[in-house]
């Protein structure tokens, strides 16, 4: 089954403790992206990657890191989480230009709480 797999589904952590949210897709998609969803703000792009070793900042990149060492994986790293990073996070993928045409395939989301 074609899918984007995100883990964990829920995560509670303490301020300053490094964490990684994993994302993997099995569709050979070039493009992958991370979004965060907050009430009243919708989904905002954090980082994106157009291919292996090619990543760039989205609209709200502060406090986040990503890497793309393999085509299928695109982990999101919070090196020193803070309470304002409490949010619902989505990983998404598509063929490079097809978000414009066909939208994304989304993961199931990670609810992160930083206390």
Partner 1 sequence: AQTVTQSQPEMSVQEAETVTLSCTYDTSESNYYLFWYKQPPSRQMILVIRQEAYKQQNATENRFSVNFQKAAKSFSLKISDSQLGDTAMYFCALGGQYNAGGTSYGKLTFGQGTILTVHP
Query: Could you give the CA distance from residue 75 to residue 57 in angstroms, rounded to a whole number?
Result: 14
Contact 42, 87 (CB under 8 A): no
Q: Name the residue nearer to partner 1 (CB basis): 16 or 103.
A: 103
Q: Name the residue nearer to partner 1 (CB basis): 15 or 97.
A: 97
Site residues (vs partner 1, CB under 8 A) = 31, 33, 35, 40-45, 48, 50, 56, 88, 90, 92, 94, 96-104, 106, 108-109, 111
CB of 108 to partner 1, least distance (A): 6
What does DSSP assign to residue 73? B
Please, which residues bridge with residue 12 across strands? 113
Q: List phi, psi (to 5°) of 102.
A: -120, 0
CB of 70 to partner 1, least distance (A): 19
């Amino acid at each position: 089954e074609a899918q984007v797999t995100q883990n964990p589904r829920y995560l509670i952590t303490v301020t300053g403790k490094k964490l990684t949210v994993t994302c993997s897709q099995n569709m050979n998609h070039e493009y992958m992206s991370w979004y965060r969803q907050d009430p009243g703000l919708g989904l905002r792009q954090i980082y994106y990657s157009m291919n292996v070793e090619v990543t760039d900042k989205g609209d709200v990149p502060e406090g986040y890191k990503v890497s793309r060492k393999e085509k299928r994986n695109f982990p999101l790293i919070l090196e020193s989480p803070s309470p304002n990073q409490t949010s619902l996070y989505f990983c998404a993928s598509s063929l490079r230009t097809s978000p414009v045409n066909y939208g994304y395939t989304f993961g199931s989301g990670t609810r992160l709480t930083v206390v």
